[in-house]
Chains A and B, each alone.
Chain A
Amino acid sequence: MISKRFLLKRLLLLVPVVLGVATVVFAILHLSPGNPARTIAGQRASEEFVRQIENDLGLNDPIYVQYGRFLWNAIQLDFGNSYVIRRGTPVTDVLRYRFPVTLELAIYGQLAGIVFGIPLGILSAVKQDSVTDHLTRIGALTGISIPIFWSGPLLILVFATVLDVLPTSGRISSNYSIDAVTGLITVDALLSGNLDAFLSAVQHMLLPSLVIGVYSMALISRMMRSSMLEVIRQDYMRTARAKGQGAKITVMKHGFRNALIPVVTIIGIQFGSLLGGAVLTETVFNITGIGILLVDAISVGDYPLVQGTVLLFAFLFTLVNLGVDVTYSILDPRIDQ
């Protein structure tokens, strides 16, 4: 049982983290060169028009007023309107449309990492120094070493071009039109009751998830292996075996739960990285998620979009870490004491 005090403390710590990120983002954007008003008006616009836009946006107000207004609006989840990419559209609307795309990719990528990484790590540990162990370790090392911009096109080449069993890009076949309910295309396809559309969405999601999940899988399996190796040498494991318990039951019942704690940390950190690092996967597979949006927003100086996206990332990252902390205390109740 998680103590309320532990949970409250962790929730309260979200406040300084988000405030810190918001302040750093505000500072960096104001230190970077370029004039947002000029970006909106265009390079050929008159100085008078640029000044007018500056006044409209409040860019001529003292900097502390701008900072206060930014924080106050951010508390109300108002990040203003996009300057360039979706000119005039509220940032929250842009994020609401784009974010589920990346979230879905990260969830499936992480699921692939967990589903394959944990069993491989356990197998590698219980069969230490065997052929299975060596193969798993080589596989993990390869997974960590291969960059996405190489593995992505390679998988497209094999599965889409040569074997022709999976689509090359996009989220769903153009034959289907699915109403967005959650924004997660596989879930929306299921909700619509169209099984063919669902299968199409799953097919489209398979390769990007695999690409993004390989790195995660490699890291999880390595961590699971070393953690499990440490646990199976503990006295309580020997005692369980001495009492006549089978090897598999001992590992799964007594070892797995204890070995899982450092792995949960890696899963949490990885999930945050998957959200932020989906840029390459989205580019390779032509998925219009939040990663590409952030890069585009930075390159064209769309400040409100950058601020909104980074704050959303930071908030989610801290939420994931909160989830990790809660999982710790479930796995080992001594932790929240």
Chain B
Amino acid sequence: MDADGPAGAESPHPPLSRLGAMFAVGAVAGAVTVVALAVGTDADASARVFSLGALVFGAALLGWSTAVLAGRGLEAAHRHLETGSDWTEAKSRRAMLLLCAFGLGGMVGVSIATAIA
């Protein structure tokens, strides 16, 4: 059994609650880091943390697109080559979406912290 549903019908989308939680974690982490760095007199704190969040978001978005575009082929290749891997397109898409939410949360958190400051 998969955590989010039966193993036979894996959903490629994570539950909204988990997406929201990752977004919130990213936002808080981003905001806290900016504040901490700014207190430490880092003038480029917001640019640096925002860029890190953007890097996670962009890379995860590319990972998600790759999973959608080539996931089934990769899954078939794993089966064909008998790699013993349990990598699936659905799991990859879920993981990448969660990372997207985290990165986006970070970007939004930094933006809010910067705007307030």
Contacts and interface: CB of A to CB of B under 8 A. Distances in A.
B43 to A, nearest CB: 11
5 contacts: A20-B59, A23-B54, A25-B58, A31-B55, A64-B114
A63 B46 CA distance: 7
B98 to A, nearest CB: 15
Interface stretch (A11-19, A130-138, A157-165): A11-19
6 closest pairs, A vs B, by CB?
A23-B58, A20-B61, A24-B58, A20-B62, A27-B54, A27-B55
Q: What is the predominant secondary structure among interface residues of chain B facing chain A?
A: helix
B62 A17 contact: yes
B23 interface: no
Interface residues of B, number: 23
A21 interface: yes
Contacts of A27: 51-52, 54-55, 58
A31 B51 contact: yes
Q: How large is the interface on A (under 10, 10 to 19, 20 to 34, 35 or more residues)?
A: 20 to 34
Interface string B75-117: 0000000000000000000000000000000010011001100
A78 B12 CA distance: 35
B13 interface: no
Nearest to A321: B69
Given A62-B111, A62-B114, A321-B69, A20 B58 contact: yes
Given A16-B64, A62-B114, A62-B115, A67 B58 contact: no
Contacts, number: 74
Interface string A213-250: 00000000000000000000000000000000000000
A28 interface: yes
Interface of B: 46-48, 50-52, 54-55, 57-62, 64-65, 68-69, 107, 110-111, 114-115
Max chain B Cβ within 10 angstroms of own Cβ: one of A19, A31, A64: A64
Interface of A: 10, 13, 16-17, 19-28, 30-31, 62-64, 67, 321, 325
B51 A30 contact: yes
A325 B47 CA distance: 39
Contacts of B61: 16-17, 19-20, 23
B69 A67 contact: no
A31 to B, nearest CB: 5
Contacts of B107: 64, 67
Contact of A23 (B47, B57, B68, B110): B57
A67 B65 contact: no
A58 to B, nearest CB: 13
B51 to A, nearest CB: 4
A24 B59 contact: yes
A17 B110 CA distance: 24
Contact of A63 (B47, B59, B60, B62): B47
Nearest to A322: B69
